[in-house]
Structure 1
């Protein structure tokens, strides 16, 4: 799908984790946007994604699904944009049985562009440089350090000021703080991966007991060491409004003039509950959402519909967006089953990471800079 407001790289795309979406031909010269959940798939029809819609796309998984993850701030500088990329993250499992759960410190390195973005537009391999071929031949590196966690991990967060301090919200009603600085240092120093199935043991540094389990958890970005948690019994220690709901509506409020119902934007796009929402750390008007409808959507509130530009793009052969498609919808990523959470990378502009029941996707849309 294409957004007419972005002139250089404007394709919307989907991942390779499942049959993704792409424009379908309706005639010799006409294309339309295929919408997940709204348009049918004909018998025997196979959807393919457009590699030029992404600047990069990678997928990986742990041996158990992860409901939550967080990106660790690193010392590699930022904002950075040159491929290949490296990043660090932490993820918590939802394993059966409970004793098999852990949280994993993860290092992803050599995340190249592959055949996406400008390389997809270049065409044949003959047009690619030797340096491009060399990058494509180096596979991504995946290293982990795992620490045992009693019970499933509902939420996991890394302290911004000290990334090795990890907070977990367990399904047993406990918020725990762990010091995983040594494990993070091992990953940074490139000491390699743990042995398959090797899970370290340790005790949390702090433990806070709630009467029930919960899902709200975050560290203060202003005050190092300050942690807020909220449970399902309505016991909320620190509360912050969030633009998302179980009816699939995305709403945005101006907290300088906050009144119930007085939102400044209201988008009806997702067809199921919104499971995660996060503002871009690099573009103040941009945010992303994940939904139980299997889609991750990137929104730019600064965009407005331009009928003249849409007509010009249609004349050049670009797919025409339906009238009910919000012009602020910049990019759609799908192909993951049961999406739960997303995060923008704080130091790589445009880089997104999403978790679902079948694993993680790490990608950078071509029209998100």
Structure 2
């Protein structure tokens, strides 16, 4: 066993045993939102959104709560596997986080995306800043209240440590003070099922200017709206900036889908913009931005799935190749140059819906998928060969790794942007888990660690109600942002 493996298991066992424990849930306040026990607030120029920053609870109270939980259940408490009693929720163990913040939005968001900024790569100092876009899900049929939110989160501080000296705190450029959430709004007339951002050179061709940031929003009404949010992002750093009404108008409204959909992806290898969209009828369309700035959708869809298309991913290294995952239990690989519009490779990998998929940007032959039965796996695309003897038949290869730790549907999955062995997984069991596929232990070592029921590759478990989607912040190593039923969370663990 490697030193990394041993360290990961020791940290992992300690985190699970001494980490998250059930505690009584706080009652909702008069506004209908749960109070943040740490009582932090964010203020925006446009509106005030409530938010909170998790901190260390009183040590004596924490010890008492943990002892009460252990008196009820002498075994290790595993979030997502051990059922909470009515009225209980989980409190985070601050010692396992380097950063942890939560915030609430006007409405829940099913989807969001992190926007790359010009603040530099490999950022490790605090306070931190993150830019993002998100689409809302207004409740009670209030479609006209939906919006595309452009967000700037700044002043994101490092977790305070007990027994930390002032010099240690100063060395991390940490500053005390409340985080700030700034919010720009673009009205939408329907719930956003999926949103993705793409950065492209300015239409003027002047590369000295910052890149243009565009978004594609796949709506519940089956339309796909493309917006330019460059001005909204720039306005955060321009005091007194006022955006004209025209800034909120879409660049294009795509109406080729006859049913709603959730699958959406921009090509990373097409700078101007090449968009994949898939719907509940199993149809996949390709829309391309022209040199003149217009948008053209190929009228012939890619067909082959017998049920809804749940996820689409462009190849990270082949500009004409993409993969699709469907509720028919299959993953298909396509070539946009194909005149037949049929898949080049057709693989049946599950008897349940394949909800999510992620193509590794470091090791191009690895693909991760998550299913409705809670299983997720990693596949080696080099083993997915077309069946020449029987064109169109489905292959049934074996995964290179497979896990059934989660017992509820997998709702999000994403490879670490720079470490091809680390994967983040979100599940409907109210947990977000981090995995290191490089860790290997035999059964005897797992039993000695006291974690026989937990895969040794499991590094960390983060509790978050109804996790819908997660993304790594690629410019801040180890940082993850996620959206759930109670808003957004952004955190960085000490284990990744």
Partners of 1:185 and 1:15 in 2: how far apart?
42
Backbone CA RMSD of aligned residues: 3.5
SS in 1 for 2:495: coil
Please state how far the C-alpha of 1:337 moved relative to its aligned partner.
Answer: 2.1
1:162-183 residue CA offsets vs partner (Å, 9 max, x unmatched) = 4621110010001111011110
**Greater relative contact order (Cα 8 A, min sep 6): structure 1 or 2?**
1
> Paired residue for 2:249, among 203, 215, 231?
203
Please state how far the C-alpha of 1:144 moved relative to its aligned partner.
Answer: 1.0
2:208 is matched with: none
Please state how far the C-alpha of 1:51 moved relative to its aligned partner.
Answer: 1.0
Gaps of 5+ in 2: 26-53, 55-61, 201-210, 286-321, 325-330, 332-356, 358-368, 385-394
2:493 is matched with: 365
1:226 is matched with: 274
Contact 1:24 1:34 in 2 (8 A): no
Question: CA separation of 1:301/1:65 partners in 2, compared to 1, >3 Å: closer, same or farther?
Answer: same
Please state how far the C-alpha of 1:49 moved relative to its aligned partner.
Answer: 2.9
1:317 is matched with: none
SS in 1 for 2:283: coil
1:155 is matched with: 194
Question: CA separation of 1:17/1:347 partners in 2, compared to 1, >3 Å: closer, same or farther?
Answer: farther
1:171 is matched with: 220
SS in 2 for 1:184: helix
Map 1:117-132 to 2 at 5 A.
Answer: 119=161, 123-124=162-163, 127-129=165-167, 131=170
Please state how far the C-alpha of 1:296 moved relative to its aligned partner.
Answer: 0.5
1:174-222 residue CA offsets vs partner (Å, 9 max, x unmatched) = 11110111101112x253799xxxx997321112111100000111001
Contact 2:482 2:488 in 1 (8 A): yes
Contact 2:143 2:190 in 1 (8 A): yes
Question: CA separation of 1:43/1:263 partners in 2, compared to 1, >3 Å: closer, same or farther?
Answer: closer
SS in 2 for 1:185: helix
SS in 1 for 2:82: coil
Contact 1:4 1:306 in 2 (8 A): no
1:6 is matched with: 8
Question: CA separation of 1:206/1:15 partners in 2, compared to 1, >3 Å: closer, same or farther?
Answer: farther
SS in 2 for 1:244: strand
Gaps of 5+ in 1: 315-319
> Paired residue for 1:58, among 81, 84, 101?
101
Partners of 1:16 and 1:289 in 2: how far apart?
22
Map 1:198-277 to 2 at 5 A.
Answer: 202-209=248-255, 210-224=257-271, 225-237=273-285, 239-240=323-324, 241=331, 242=357, 243-258=369-384, 259-277=395-413
1:234-278 residue CA offsets vs partner (Å, 9 max, x unmatched) = 002353452111100001101111242421111001111111111
1:185 is matched with: 234
Contact 2:20 2:79 in 1 (8 A): no
Contact 1:9 1:53 in 2 (8 A): no
Map 1:40-119 to 2 at 5 A.
Answer: 48-96=91-139, 97-115=142-160, 119=161
Question: CA separation of 1:40/1:147 partners in 2, compared to 1, >3 Å: closer, same or farther?
Answer: closer
Question: CA separation of 1:352/1:18 partners in 2, compared to 1, >3 Å: closer, same or farther?
Answer: farther
SS in 1 for 2:239: coil
Tell me which structure has the larger Cα radius of gyration.
2
Map 1:313-332 to 2 at 5 A.
Answer: 320-321=450-451, 323-332=452-461
1:353 is matched with: 481
Contact 2:126 2:173 in 1 (8 A): no
Partners of 2:156 and 2:383 in 1: how far apart?
42
Please state how far the C-alpha of 1:339 moved relative to its aligned partner.
Answer: 1.2
Partners of 2:241 and 2:462 in 1: how far apart?
30
Partners of 1:88 and 1:287 in 2: how far apart?
22
Partners of 1:79 and 1:17 in 2: how far apart?
36
Please state how far the C-alpha of 1:110 moved relative to its aligned partner.
Answer: 1.3
Please state how far the C-alpha of 1:5 moved relative to its aligned partner.
Answer: 3.4
SS in 1 for 2:111: strand
1:146 is matched with: 185
Contact 1:148 1:200 in 2 (8 A): no
Please state how far the C-alpha of 1:160 moved relative to its aligned partner.
Answer: 3.9
